[in-house]
Amino acid sequence: MIDLAPDLDGFSGVISARRGDDVLGEWAVGFADRTWSVANTADTRFALASGAKTFTALAVLSLVEDGTLSLDTAARDVLGDDLPLIADDVTVDHLLTHRSGIGDYLDEEIDALAPMTVPVQQLDSTPAYLAVLDGLPTKFPAGERFSYCNGGFVVLALIAERASGTSFPELVDRRVFAPAGMTASCFPRSDALPASSATGYKADGRTNVFDLPVQGSGDGGAYSTVGDLHRFWLALTTGRILPAELAALATATVTADAGDGLGYGRGIWLDGGDLLLSGGDHGVTASSRHDPATGVTVTGLANTEVRTFARVKTLMDAVRLAI
Q: Which residues pair with 14 in a beta bridge?
A: 28, 301
Question: Each residue of 285-320: pLDDT tens digit?
Answer: 999 999 999 999 999 999 999 999 999 999 999 999
Average confidence (pLDDT) over 8-24? 97
Question: Each residue of 182-195: pLDDT tens digit?
Answer: 999 999 999 999 99
pLDDT score recorded for residue 106: 86
pLDDT score recorded for residue 188: 98
pLDDT of residue 279 exceeding 70, the answer is: yes
Residues 6+ apart with CB under 8 A from 36: none
- 13-322: CATH topology is Beta-lactamase (3.40.710)
pLDDT score recorded for residue 1: 54
Q: Are strands 296-302 and 13-19 parallel, antiparallel or unpaired?
A: antiparallel
User: Can you tell me whether residue 247 is helix, strand or coil?
Assistant: helix
pLDDT score recorded for residue 67: 98
Beta-carbon-side half-sphere exposure of residue 283 (alpha carbons within 13 Å): 20
d(CA 42, CA 198): 11
d(CA 43, CA 50): 21
Domain boundaries, the chain: 13-322
Q: What is the DSSP string of 14-72?
A: EEEEEETTEEEEEEEESEEETTTTEEP-TT-BEE-GGGHHHHHHHHHHHHHHTTS--TT
Identify the H or E element spanning 290.
strand 284-291
Q: Mean of the per-residue pLDDT values for the chain?
A: 96
d(CA 155, CA 138): 14
pLDDT score recorded for residue 248: 97
Is residue 113 very low, low, confident or very high in pLDDT (cuts 50, 70, 90)? low
Question: Each residue of 42-69: pLDDT tens digit?
Answer: 999 999 999 999 999 999 999 999 999 9
Is residue 41 very low, low, confident or very high in pLDDT (cuts 50, 70, 90)? very high
